[in-house]
Structures are given as C-alpha cells and as structure tokens.
C-alpha cells in the first residue's frame, strides 16, 4: 500500500506542472461559465491550427539545443513563400502545395544558417534564438515594407500599400488559400494513401528483383491485399459518400479511434501471446486499454457527452499531418540520425569521441525544426484565413514554447504526448481566460493579460528551473578557513 502511495506521489510530483494546469483549466472553465460545446469546438480548431508548430520544437530538444526560439524564422520562410503564391494568384490545395514547395527550400536555407550560427555559440542557443528571432523580424519588415514594391516591382492593388511600396498589414486568404489543406476530403486522402502504398510496394519489388532486399514476400502481399480491399471498399457508394466530406464529426472520430485502438491492442495480444508465445508479455496493459476504449465508446451514449461530440468537427487532412509528424518524431528516434542527435544532446564530448559529427548533426536538427515550423505556420495561416503580414510570426515562438512546457516538457526532454497535452491545456486556458476574467473581476482585459502572463511566466520558470538544475558543477574546492561563508558548494565556475 505504501508503495502505491509513493507511486502516486511520485507521479504527481513529476507532473506537477501538468496537474497545476489541469486544475487551473478546470477552474477557469467552471468560473467562465462558457458552455463546454463552445470550449471543445474552439479547442479542436486550435489543436489543428497550432499542434504542428508545437511538435516542430521536439527535434532540437532531442539534439540538446534547448527550446528552439528560432522557429520564428521558419514562420518567416513560410510567409515569404505565401506572399508570392497569393500574388501569383494560385488557389486551393495546388496553391498550398506550391507554397510548401517554395517555402521548404527557403526554410532549409534559413535553418542551415541558424544551425551554423548556433554552432558558434554552443550553450547559448536559446538566448541567441530569441535575439535572432527579433533580428530576423527586422529584416523581414525591411523586405516586406521596402524591398517589395521598392526594389522588386510588384503591382497589385489589394496586396500593396497605396503608393506602390510595401505590403499591406493584412492579406485576406479567403478565396485563395483559406482552408486549402483543411478541405482536402478523406476520399482523396485515402486514394493518395493507396497510391503511395502501391508505389512503396513497387519499389520494394524492384529492390527484390535486383537482389538488394531479401526475406519472405508474405507481408508485402498481405499489405497489398489489404490496400486493394480498402480501395475496393471506398468504391462502395455509402462509404464513398461518407468519405467525400473533409470534416469528420468528433463523434465518428471518437468511435473510429476507440475501435482502431482496441483492434490494435487485440492484435498485440494475439501476436505476442499466441503467435510468438512471449512469456514476459503481460496482457493486463492492453486489456486495460481495451476496457478504456469500451468505456469511451459507452460514454458517447451519455447525452451530455454526445451533445458535445456532435457539435465538433475536425479537419481530417490537418489532423493527419499532425499524426504523421508524431510518427515521424518517433521514427526518427529509431534511425541512426536520431540516435546521433540523442547522443549529441546528452554530451557533445561523448558524441565527438564516438565519431559523430556534432556540428553537422546539430545543423540537421535545426534544418528539420525550421522546415517543420515553416509547414506549421502554413497550416496555421490556411486555417486562420487572414495573414497579418507583420504580426503573424512575432508571437509564434512564445506561444508554441509555452504550450510545450505546460504539457510537462522540459528543456532536455519532450515527447509527442507532452506537446499535444500542452496544446490542449494551454489553449483551453486561452479560450476561457477572457470570460473567466469577466466573471471574476468584471474585466475581460484582465483575463487576456493573465493568459499572456501565463505564457511568459511558464517559460521563465522553466528556464530558471533548467538553469538551476544544470548549472556548472565543477566547483574548485578552495579552503578558506577564516571565512566560512566563502567555500559554499555549488558556487560559480564562470572563469574561463
């Protein structure tokens, strides 16, 4: 029993930030009196909008470069590309893909430059990233206010300030890129997925024929049969009709997720217990998850829950991107590059001895993060539908990093789960804070200031905690007998 108590205490202690914010969120929702239907709908819109950006922070943390305040620069790359695509008049998903194609090389270049700079100031990446963000903002303003129209001739009355020099404050994306990604239907996604799978299988077949890949064909064949079966299934009119929409009702989403999760757990039990006969495998974990799925499914029949679930629709394509990024973050850990990054993150000296090119690994981490942040900003902007030319990128790093930290991440360790949890908690607070301020103090402004304070405060506390725990330990023992207050342990070691 004591053991259990300790466990619970440890769990609470390790996740105190998360617990604090859960309490804060519940309190704020209760005080605000906002209907849950409204909160949940707003929340799911915001997860889709901001999730990708928060997830883009994980790789630099893995590589030991701390919180990447330089994601502002990825956002800038996205916005530069976005402007030109809007100016050239491309629309819809084609326009969006063109923006991605154009923004990615820019972001890679920027990321490479940032990585180079960070390599000259190792250990000070975070402060450098902050200042770099502001510096890049200055250059961005110079480009958008004076070079576009001033040096590069651009003629467009809706985009350019009257007088012909400089871009207007806001660019309306309605009719060109608004919801470009959100409105990709599930049917198209399924078809794209099918053709991608076929292409991969074809590639594997070619590799097999040229004897570069060995092993039995069965798994490939099974995959192919499965894919074709699903492709056949989506030709059925009823299913086709269901998939032709781009938004998924949260109710359907929950049911699909519950069924899929339960099926996966069943598969785990079957494969581990019956096929491989693994003795160490405990079936209680999967069984608990299955039970949770069943409970979750039954909950959808509760009127109150159902009312919320029917009220919320999620943009499938955007959520798929977020899931894919989570998968990518996990897969990266299994590659050599990911392991190199982890080693570099633990200790640059050890990595160096192990023959890892530390500088190169760090640059790659920065490039990946910058490109992902760039895509994240594009997802954000296509969902917002208005592009505030001079403001859209300025708060990106503040809110993304605050969200990540609220989820329980630290400066050395962050996971997908923490990122998503953080987005949920942080944005719940954002949604209800003004109303809570109104209810509590008759002043909505107070709630708004409070949420901004939370964003800054949580970053300040995390940075301080991190520095507190990891300050240089190499204390030179100097015995000064006459002055006992001098030889305090854990003192400074700043001397070069």
Partner 1 sequence: MRALREKLSEIYENLGLPRIIIIGFFIVLLIAAVPLGLSVPNLLGDAIRRWAMYGILVLAMVPAVECGINLNFGISLGIVAGLLGSTTAIEMGIPNPWTSLFAAMAIGVLVAIPLGIGYGILLNRVKGSEMTVSTYVGFSVVAFMNLVWLSLPFKSGTLIWPLGGRGMRNTISLASSFGGVLNNFLGVQIGDPTQGLYVPTGLILFFMAACVVVWLFLRSKTGLAMSAAGSNPMFARASGINVDMMRILGTTISTALGAIGIITYSQSYGFLQLYNAPLMMGFHCVAAVLIGGATVRSAKISHAIIGTFLFQGILAVALPVANKLLPGTNLADVMRIIISNGIILYALSKTKEGS
Please state the closest distance from residue 394 (CB atom) to partner 1, in A.
11
Contacts of 21 (CB under 8 A, 6+ apart): 406, 425, 426, 429
Select from 9, 30, 146, 304 the one that contacts partner 1 (CB under 8 A).
Answer: 146
In three-state secondary structure terms, 302 is: coil
The contact mask relative to partner 1 for 80-119 (x = CB under 8 A, - = no) is: -------------------------------------x--
Which helix or strand (DSSP H or E) is residue 248 part of?
A: strand 247-249
Contact pick of 54, 132, 148, 344 for partner 1 (by CB under 8 A): 132
* Site for partner 1 contains 464 (CB under 8 A): yes
Regarding 41 and contact with partner 1 (CB under 8 A), the answer is no
Residue owning tokens 């590589």: 63
Phi/psi at 171 (nearest 5 deg)? -115, 125
Per CB under 8 A, the segment of 46-54, 232-240, 263-271, 474-482 that binds partner 1 is 474-482
Site map (CB under 8 A) of partner 1, residues 376-415, x = contact: ----------------------------------------
Element (H, E) at 374: helix 358-384
Give φ, ψ of 402 to 5 degrees: -60, -45
Q: How far is the CB of 219 from partner 1 (least distance, A)?
A: 46
Contact segment (CB under 8 A) with partner 1 among 193-201, 255-263, 314-322, 486-494 equals: 486-494
Query: Half-sphere exposure (CA, 13 Å, Cβ side) for 385?
Result: 7
Question: What letter would DSSP give residue 161?
Answer: P
Spatial distance between the Cα atoms of 21 and 3, rounded to a whole number of angstroms? 26
Is 168 a binder of partner 1 (CB under 8 A)?
no
330 touching partner 1, by CB under 8 A? no
Spatial CA neighbour of 62 closest among 419, 482, 395, 375: 419
| Tokens 């064909």 belong to residue | 217
Does 477 sit near partner 1 (CB under 8 A)?
Answer: no
Binders of partner 1: how many residues, by CB under 8 A?
61
Structure letter (DSSP) for residue 56: T
For the bound state, the minimum distance from the C-beta of residue 479 to partner 1, rounded and expressed in Å, comes to 10
**Length of the chain, in residues:** 496
Residues 6+ apart with CB under 8 A from 198: 224, 227
Site string for partner 1, 346-365 (x = CB under 8 A): --x-----------------
Which of residues 294 and 486 has its CB atom nearest to partner 1 in the complex? 486
Token duo for residue 317:
């394509």
**Residue 45: which of 438, 243, 311, 245 has the closest Cα?**
311
DSSP labels, 208-241: HHTTS--S-SHHHHHHHHHHHHHHHHTTSHHHHH
Q: Which of 270, 299, 297 is nearest to 286 (CA)?
A: 270
457 binds partner 1 (CB under 8 A): yes
Residue from the set 5, 210, 482, 484 that interacts with partner 1 by CB under 8 A: 482
Nearest residue (CB) to partner 1, 92 versus 487 = 487
Which of residues 120, 174, 210, 218 is near partner 1 by CB under 8 A?
A: 120
Q: Which residues form the interface with partner 1 (CB under 8 A)? A: 117, 120-124, 126-128, 130-132, 134-135, 137-139, 141-142, 145-146, 163, 165-166, 348, 441-443, 445-446, 449-450, 452-453, 455-457, 459-460, 463-464, 466-468, 471-472, 476, 478, 480, 482-483, 485-488, 491-496
């Amino acid at each position: 029993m004591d053991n259990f108590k300790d466990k619970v205490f440890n769990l609470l202690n390790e996740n105190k930030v998360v617990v604090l914010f859960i309490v804060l969120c519940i309190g704020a929702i209760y005080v605000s009196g906002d209907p849950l239907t409204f909160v949940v709908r707003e929340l799911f819109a915001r997860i889709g909008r901001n999730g990708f950006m928060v997830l883009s922070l994980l790789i630099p943390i893995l590589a030991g470069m701390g919180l990447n305040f330089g994601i502002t620069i990825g956002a800038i790359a996205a916005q530069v590309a976005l402007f030109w695509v809007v100016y050239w008049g491309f629309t819809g998903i084609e326009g969006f893909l063109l923006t991605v194609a154009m923004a990615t090389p820019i972001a890679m270049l920027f990321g490479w430059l940032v990585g180079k700079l960070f390599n000259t100031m190792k250990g000070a990446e975070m402060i450098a990233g902050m200042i770099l963000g502001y510096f890049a903002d200055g250059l961005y303003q110079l480009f958008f206010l004076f070079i576009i129209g001033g040096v590069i001739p651009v003629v467009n009355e809706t985009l350019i300030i009257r007088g012909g020099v400089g871009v207007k404050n806001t660019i309306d994306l309605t009719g060109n890129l608004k919801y470009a990604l959100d409105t990709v239907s599930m049917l198209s996604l399924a078809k794209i997925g099918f053709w991608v799978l076929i292409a991969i299988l074809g590639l594997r077949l070619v590799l097999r024929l040229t004897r570069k890949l060995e092993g039995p064909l069965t798994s490939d064949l099974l995959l192919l049969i499965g894919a074709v079966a699903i492709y056949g299934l989506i030709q059925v009119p009823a299913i086709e009709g269901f998939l032709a929409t781009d938004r998924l009702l949260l109710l359907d989403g929950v049911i699909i997720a519950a069924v899929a999760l339960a099926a996966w757990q069943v598969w785990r039990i079957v494969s581990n217990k019956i096929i491989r006969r693994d003795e160490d495998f405990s079936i209680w974990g999967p069984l608990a998850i299955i039970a949770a799925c069943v409970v979750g499914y039954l909950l959808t029949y509760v009127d109150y829950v159902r009312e919320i679930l029917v009220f919320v629709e999620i943009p499938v394509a955007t959520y798929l991107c977020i899931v894919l990024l989570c998968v990518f973050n996990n897969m990266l850990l299994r590659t050599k590059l990911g392991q190199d990054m982890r080693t570099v993150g633990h200790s640059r000296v050890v990595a160096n001895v192990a023959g890892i090119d530390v500088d190169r690994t760090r640059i790659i981490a920065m490039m990946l993060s910058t490109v992902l942040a760039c895509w994240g900003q594009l997802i954000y902007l296509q969902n917002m539908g208005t592009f505030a030319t001079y403001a859209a990128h300025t708060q990106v790093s503040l809110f993304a990093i605050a969200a990540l930290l609220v989820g329980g991440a630290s400066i050395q360790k962050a996971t997908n789960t923490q990122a998503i949890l953080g987005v949920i908690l942080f944005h719940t607070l954002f949604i209800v804070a003004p109303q809570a301020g109104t209810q509590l103090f008759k002043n909505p402004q107070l709630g708004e200031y409070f949420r901004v304070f939370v964003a800054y405060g949580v970053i300040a506390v995390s940075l301080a905690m991190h520095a507190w725990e990891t300050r240089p330990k190499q204390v030179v023992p100097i015995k000064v007998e006459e002055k006992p207050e001098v030889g305090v342990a854990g003192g400074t070691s700043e001397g070069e």
